[in-house]
Structure 1
Amino acid sequence: MIAWDVTELKVLPGHRLEVAFADGLRGVVDMSKDDFSGVFAPLADESYFALATIRNGVVVWPNGVDIAPDAMYDEVNSHRSGIAA
């Protein structure tokens, strides 16, 4: 496993994802200000956003869209306040 592989996922209200990574880092990725256009357009609907799952360490949606786990890791790591373990 790579340190930034996603191992746990909880979808939170407001286009946010609570995640845990293979190395134990935990936190919230806030996508509320993202531009959901193009292939990401369905994610603008919170009910569709809530369909997120983990596949091979990556957060994915039914339409095949995924979020780069290394970018999510960097965001959580930069906020180190994250979620208490």
Structure 2
Amino acid sequence: MHPDVITVDVLEGYALLLTFANGEKRIFSVEPYLDRGIFRELRDPAYFRSVRAISGFVSWPHEQDFSPDTLYLKSVPATLPKALP
């Protein structure tokens, strides 16, 4: 089991900057999921920015979410872009 997400910031290019409970910062690209079922709604930039860290997951208002395991395993260590306002 991987650490929970405690904060999430939106980056350019449908990416998320995640801070995990162990202090690691990692970048997760949502782009590979944007053509799949319920994730299509995430293509709307305003809706994409509505993401929140909830109970260790990242989630959007219409119940799209990613588990801490997926987020950790499919992300890379953060060393790059700034968060969008």
**Does the 8 Å CA contact 1:36/1:42 hold for their aligned counterparts?**
no
* 1:43 alignment partner in structure 2: 42
Give, in angstroms, the shift of residue 20 of structure 1: 0.7
Distance in 2, Cα, partners of 1:74 & 1:38: 21
Structure 1 pair 16–50 and aligned structure 2 pair: CA distance change class (3 A): same
Aligned to 2:79: 83
Contact 2:8 2:18 in 1 (8 A): yes
Give 1:17-28 correspondences, 5 Å limit: 17-28=16-27
1:46-78 per-residue CA deviation (whole Å, 9 max, x = no partner) reads 2111110011111000001101211111123xx
- Relative to the length of structure 2, the TM-score reads 0.79
Superposed structure 1 runs of 4+ greater than 4 Å apart: none
Alignment length (residue pairs):
80
For 2:67 and 2:57, the matched residues in 1 are separated by: 7
Q: Please state whether the residue corresponding to 2:32 is helix, strand or coil.
A: coil
TM-score (norm 1): 0.79
Query: What's the % identity of the aligned pairs?
Result: 29
* C-alpha RMSD of the superposition: 1.9
Query: Larger relative CO (CA 8 A, sep 6+): 1 or 2?
Result: 2
Following TM superposition, by how much is the alpha carbon of 1:44 offset from its aligned partner in structure 2, in angstroms? Answer: 1.3
